[in-house]
Amino acid sequence: MRRLLLVALSAALSTLSGCRCDPGPPGGHEPARKSGLPITKPPTASPPKRLAAIEGRISGVVLDDAYAYLSVESDDGRGSIVRVAKKTGETQVLAKGEPGPQAIALAGMPVGSELVWLLSGDLFRDREGAAFARMAKDGSGEIKRTPFKPKGRTGICPIGDAIVLCADAVVRVEKDGATTKLADAPGGMCSVAACDAKHAYIGADGKVHRVALERGDGGATKAELFASPADHLHALTIAGSDVFWADKTGVYKTPIAGGAPSRVSTSSDPVAVLADDNHVYVASLDGAISRIRRSGSAVAQIATTTPSPGRIMVMDKGQLYWSADDGLWSLAR
């Protein structure tokens, strides 16, 4: 009897040594495996957070190493310039009672030492108070204003110590207030602007145009058609050797050197677009924020926000920032 028990135990051990002893997934089905490819889990994304609650409509945001600077419109037409600490979200009002503050930028020498913003003025009093304004970015000293009556929404971009304004015309403004008209805006109005070393790229008449930053001897030049969106232009940015732009049908890029545009994303109703050396970031009307390789592959939705993002999105080395109805939001990128 003892001999028979030993033989049975030996057979059972032999059977167990050749089996798979883990229970496997629920239901008894083993997940499919891709031979030769490592299985990696995507990193856990940090949820977006509201960096600061802001009363009013954020119409412009610009960043330095420590702060976000906001131009904020209010219902009574008198807005403010607000500084938000990136680390803590602490807010400080640098200027208040500003008539219709819009786009904002950092300019000046040393580079980025001054805040520059546009004032659309009181719409009910023939744009009374319309100007572009400058002040030290720490809020010290007086605000210097130069009268300027833009038509509709405007864009702004810094070029060294000067700035380029985009309104019913594309105008270069020096620090001393001297202005040079570079070109008329096609259709009589432009709304967004981005600059590289040689050109200002503007959204006007539903299309993307570019204007040389240096005016020739013949005076103001004509804006050159650069790209023709299928639908109204929503956003515009420059990164490296490409201009990225968005309309209702998606996000596209066109080489600065010239050539046909290529579609980067079919994101529905994009409202803001940014790009760095590797990725394009898109905020959409449905609240999605996506990261896309510049080649147009590997789309990843990195956040869904409520409320939906506004038309202002900026970034630094580690974070994305965007406007919303209830304040300024941020997300690690």
Q: Is residue 127 part of a domain?
A: yes
Helices (H) and strands (E) in the chain, counts: 1, 28
Q: Is residue 87 part of a domain?
A: yes
Residue 14 pLDDT grade (very low, low, confident, very high; cuts 50, 70, 90): very low
**Contacts of the segment 208-211: beta carbons below 8 A, 24+ positions apart:** 208/233, 208/236, 208/243, 208/245, 208/254, 211/170, 211/182, 211/183
Residue 190 pLDDT grade (very low, low, confident, very high; cuts 50, 70, 90): confident
| Segment holding 5, helix H or strand E | helix 2-17
Q: Is residue 296 part of a domain?
A: yes
Give exposure, 287-323, as e/b (b: 16+ Cβ within 10 Å). ebbbbbebebeeeeebbebeebbbbbbbbeeebbbbb
How far, CA to CA in Å, does 289 sit from each of 37, 47, 213, 218, 294? 29, 12, 33, 45, 15
Share of the chain above pLDDT 90, in %: 39
Instruction: Examine the fold and report which residue of 97, 121, 149 is the final residue of a domain before the chain moves on.
Output: 149
So what's the pLDDT on residue 219?
Answer: 67
CATH number of the CATH domain containing 288 = 2.120.10.30
Residues 53-91 have pLDDT tens digits of 999 999 999 999 999 999 999 888 889 999 999 999 999
Residues 194-251 have pLDDT tens digits of 999 999 999 988 899 999 998 766 666 889 999 998 778 889 999 999 999 998 888 9
Instruction: Examine the fold and report which residue of 87, 114, 149 is the final residue of a domain before the chain moves on.
Output: 149
294 pLDDT higher than 90: no
Q: Is residue 220 part of a domain?
A: no
The 8-class DSSP code of residue 227 comes to E
So what's the pLDDT on residue 125?
Answer: 59
Q: Is residue 121 part of a domain?
A: yes
Q: Is residue 73 part of a domain?
A: yes
Contact between 253 and 264 (Cβ < 8 Å): yes
The Cα 56–Cα 58 span in angstroms is 6
Full domain range(s) for residue 93: 48-149
So what's the pLDDT on residue 68?
Answer: 98
Q: Is residue 259 part of a domain?
A: yes
Domain count, the chain: 2
Residues 95-105 have pLDDT tens digits of 999 988 988 99
Instruction: Examine the fold and report which residue of 149, 166, 195 is the final residue of a domain before the chain moves on.
Output: 149
Q: Is residue 184 part of a domain?
A: no
